[in-house]
Amino acid sequence: MARRENPEINAGSMADIAFLLLIFFLVTTTMNVDSGVSKKLSEKPPADYVPPVIKEKNIFEVNINRNNELLVEGDRMEIKDLKEAAIKFIDNGGGEGKVENGVATGPCTYCNGEKSETSSDHPNKAIISVQSDRLTEYGTYLTVQDQLLRAYSELRNRLSIKMYKMPFAELEEAYKDDKDNESLKKKVELIKTSYPQIISDAEPTN
Amino acid sequence: MSKFRKKKKGIPAVNTAALPDIVFMLLFFFMVTTTMRETSLQIDAPRLPSASEVKKLEHKSLVTTIYVGKAKEAKFGTSFNRIQLNDKIASADDVPAFIINARSKVSEAEVPFMTTSIKADKESSVGTITDIRLKLRDVNALKISYSASKTSD
């Protein structure tokens, strides 16, 4: 009679199983990347600081009340319409741009707006002021900020495509990969200064 | 009796040479994907608002995080405006000390690149965020990031 030996388990497919598990985890896990809306705060003004006088027409006033409702330039508005309104305001180009280092930027040549007398003069003069209540929900506040930023990025994108046949995000990405490229840097800077993001947070009301 | 007589019949032993490779692979996988949380949350995990214009936060070592949300412990009340710094529930007045402490951990040249990430719950109120912002401005921590999840639209 043949002696029965203890048969060993064939583990040749163990690797396959492990790989399967590995791939499963790879596919299902979402890596927790920290992302957020970046913002640069303004520096603390000195005690004797006198704020410059800004023409009413160059300010786009957004009010959020404690019930999370929006008041834009005196009219009620839904959040979904905010982006369009902001674009219309920024891109109006109704007058002369501001004087930078003694050089006047002149009228906005790349704006597609209505050139209305009652709206902003130039994108570099257009200020968006967001005022919220202390009891406004943070979620709403951030959505508003996001919509305004989208307005800017849409305008920058449009200009970038017109001038360089390339979306602005791609241009920025290319510059990030190649930091020493002067011409790319110039392009990015030009677009950024053409539509500078001027969003100011007014002190909230109580 | 044939020349090629079968030797003692038996199943060949399992080759476990690849087993360490597999285990290492799994190990590396977990090492890469796990994000260590240095602080334990004293507040309920904030339900982050969503936004489309989000940027990824680079250089983890230069990011200090402030949490805002509802405290887990009942003694702090049920409002969504509790601030957590390090491991404790604190008030906005403690923010400057917290930032200065965080700065002492990085080299001086890197201080201007430090970012404060505010992880606040959707239902927190803007007043709390403003208080934090004012305190941050006092200590010149001007780069902030409102933590948000990305929406496709």
Which one of B9, B29, B122 has the shortest CB-CB distance to A138?
B122
Which long-range contacts (C-beta less than 8 Å, at least 24 apart) are formed by A7-14? A7/B11, A8/B11, A8/B13, A8/B14, A9/B14, A10/B11, A10/B14, A11/B14, A11/B15, A11/B16, A11/B19, A12/B14, A12/B15, A14/B18, A14/B19, A14/B22
pLDDT score, position A20: 74
pLDDT of B13 > 70? The answer is: yes
As a whole number, mean pLDDT of residues A120-133 equals 85
**A3 pLDDT tier (thresholds 50, 70, 90):** low
pLDDT of A163 > 80? The answer is: yes
* Percentage with pLDDT > 70 across chain A: 90
Which one of A42, A135, A146 has the shortest CB-CB distance to B52?
A146
Q: Cβ–Cβ of A32/B35 closer than 8 Å? A: yes
Element (H, E) at B56: strand B55-56
Q: Cβ–Cβ of B22/A150 closer than 8 Å? A: no
CA distance B139 to A106: 38
Chain A: closest CA distance from residue B73 (Å)? 22
Structure tokens at A137: 């929900």
Q: Cβ–Cβ of B56/A35 closer than 8 Å? A: yes
pLDDT score, position B61: 78
Q: Which residues of chain A are within 8 Å of residue B125 when distances are taken between CB atoms?
A: 134-138
Structure tokens at A6: 């203890």
User: Which of A6, A35, A80 best tests the B interface by mutation, with the highest count of B CBs <10 A?
Assistant: A35
User: Regarding beta strands B115-120 and B143-147, do their DSSP bridges make them parallel or antiparallel, or are they unpaired?
Assistant: parallel
Q: Is B150 on the interface with A (CB under 8 A)?
A: yes
Q: Is residue B8 part of a domain?
A: no
Helices (H), B1-153: 19-33, 95-103, 126-138
pLDDT score, position A121: 83
* A13 or A55, greater pLDDT: A55
**Number of compact structural domains in chain B:** 1
| Residue-number span of the structural domain to which B88 is assigned | 50-150
Q: Which of A119, A115, A97 is nearest to A106 (CA)?
A: A97
pLDDT score, position A11: 64
The reported pTM is 0.76
Determine contact, residues B109/B101, Cβ cutoff 8 Å. Answer: no
Mean pLDDT for chain A overall = 81
Q: What is the ipTM of this complex?
A: 0.73
**B34 pLDDT tier (thresholds 50, 70, 90):** low
Chain B: closest CA distance from residue A41 (Å)? 5
Residues 6..35 of B with a Cβ closer than 8 Å to A: which?
9-11, 13-16, 18-19, 21-22, 25-26, 29, 33, 35
pLDDT of A12 > 70? The answer is: no
* B50 or A19, greater pLDDT: B50
pLDDT of B77 > 70? The answer is: yes
Residues 96..125 of A with a Cβ closer than 8 Å to B: which?
none
Which one of A9, A25, A36 has the shortest CB-CB distance to B29?
A25
* Residues in Cβ contact with A27 at an 8 Å cutoff, skipping those fewer than 6 apart: none
Helices (H), chain A: 14-28, 79-90, 138-164, 168-177, 182-194
Q: Which residues of chain B are within 8 Å of residue A13 when distances are taken between CB atoms?
A: none
The full set of domain ranges for chain A reads: 56-153+197-201
Report CA Rg, chain A. Answer: 27
Q: Is residue B39 part of a domain?
A: no
As a whole number, mean pLDDT of residues B111-133 equals 88
Q: Is residue B14 part of a domain?
A: no
Q: Which residues of chain B are within 8 Å of residue A44 when distances are taken between CB atoms?
A: 137-138, 140
Q: What is the pLDDT of residues A40-75, one digit of tens each?
A: 888 877 878 887 788 888 888 888 888 888 888 888
pLDDT score, position B4: 72
pLDDT of A7 > 60? The answer is: yes
Residues 50..79 of A with a Cβ closer than 8 Å to B: which?
64
Q: Cβ–Cβ of B115/A38 closer than 8 Å? A: yes
Nearest CA in chain A to B58: A34
Which one of A12, A15, A146 has the shortest CB-CB distance to B53?
A146
pLDDT of B52 > 60? The answer is: yes
Q: Cβ–Cβ of A9/B140 closer than 8 Å? A: no
